[in-house]
């Protein structure tokens, strides 16, 4: 049985690797080679490994991730690990397994921020929309007040 390949996504000049479900050793071995090859080819600035979809992480997976991060750094890409769940973290800590030397972030947004990606919205008329909403709210409130008045009259 051939396992599915873990995707490697290009995102704002960085590479994103989302780990999902049950990650096997052979999947990780292939991923490691592929990621390093992609870094060399594309000259990416950062490597984000998103582990939010991983249901468990043992010492081996942890070691492979650590090695991948180190290799990426050697090639000049900044590695960031993000999305580790509370269960995964507690289990690793109980075992005494450490993942030293890798930058971490709470989630994907945090990882992107860490790599210097800034979010700006391009909706120029956002302000106008807000004003419109405000306006509608005032009208609504006024109508409500009027309704109250009517009731009082009755």
C-alpha 154/C-alpha 32 separation (Å) is 76
Can you tell me which of 75, 91, 110, 114 binds other proteins, judged by CB under 8 A?
Answer: 91
Can you tell me which of 95, 129, 133, 139 binds other proteins, judged by CB under 8 A?
Answer: 95
The sign of the CA dihedral 111, 64, 38, 5 is negative
The sign of the CA dihedral 121, 123, 124, 129 is negative
Check residue 58 for interaction with other proteins (CB under 8 A).
yes
147 Cα distance to chain centroid: 48
C-alpha 87/C-alpha 103 separation (Å) is 19
Check residue 24 for interaction with other proteins (CB under 8 A).
yes
Can you tell me which of 39, 57, 69, 81 binds other proteins, judged by CB under 8 A?
Answer: 57
Check residue 56 for interaction with other proteins (CB under 8 A).
yes
Can you tell me which of 2, 41, 96, 118 binds other proteins, judged by CB under 8 A?
Answer: 96
C-alpha 16/C-alpha 112 separation (Å) is 10
Check residue 25 for interaction with other proteins (CB under 8 A).
yes
Residues lying near other proteins in the complex (CB under 8 A):
1, 22, 24-26, 55-60, 63, 87-88, 90-91, 94-97
């Amino acid at each position: 049985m051939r396992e599915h390949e873990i995707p490697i996504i290009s995102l704002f000049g960085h590479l994103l690797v989302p780990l999902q479900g049950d990650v096997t050793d052979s999947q990780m071995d292939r991923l490691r080679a592929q990621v390093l090859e992609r870094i060399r080819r594309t000259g990416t600035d950062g490597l984000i490994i998103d582990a939010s979809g991983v249901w468990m992480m043992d010492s081996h997976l942890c070691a492979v991730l650590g090695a991948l991060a180190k290799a990426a750094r050697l090639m000049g890409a900044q590695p960031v690990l993000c999305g580790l769940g509370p269960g995964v973290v507690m289990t690793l800590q109980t075992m005494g397994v450490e993942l030293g030397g890798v930058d971490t972030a709470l989630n994907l947004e945090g990882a992107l921020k860490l790599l210097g990606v800034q979010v700006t919205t391009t909706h120029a008329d956002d302000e106008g929309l807000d004003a419109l909403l405000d306006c509608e709210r005032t009208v609504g409130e006024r109508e409500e007040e009027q309704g109250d008045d009517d009731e009082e009259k009755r």
